[in-house]
Structure 1
Amino acid sequence: MTKAPFVAMSVATAALGTALGSLALQLRANGYEQYVESVATFSVLMYITAALVVVTWVRDGQTHSN
Structure 2
Amino acid sequence: MAKTPFGSLSAAIAMLATALGFLTFQLRANGYEQYVESVASASVVMYVTAALVVLTWVRARRPYSD
Partner of 1:50 in structure 2?
50
How does the TM-score come out when normalised to structure 2?
0.95
Q: How far, CA to CA, are the matches of 2:55 and 2:3 in structure 1?
A: 12
2:36 corresponds to which letter in structure 1? V
Q: How far, CA to CA, are the matches of 1:23 and 1:40 in structure 2?
A: 9
Task: Name stretches of at least 5 consecutive residues in structure 1 with no aligned partner.
Answer: none
Counting matched residue pairs gives: 66
Deviations 1:38-61 (CA, angstroms, capped at 9, x unpaired): 000000001000000000000001
Q: How does 1:1-66 map to 2 (within 5 A)?
A: 1-2=1-2, 5-66=5-66
How does the TM-score come out when normalised to structure 1?
0.95
Instruction: Please list every run of at least 4 consecutive aligned residues from structure 1 whose deviation after the TM superposition is greater than 4 angstroms.
Output: none
Q: Is the 8 A contact 1:6 1:57 kept in 2?
A: yes
Task: Name stretches of at least 5 consecutive residues in structure 2 with no aligned partner.
Answer: none
**CA-CA distance at 1:29 after TM superposition:** 0.2
RMSD of aligned C-alpha atoms? 1.0
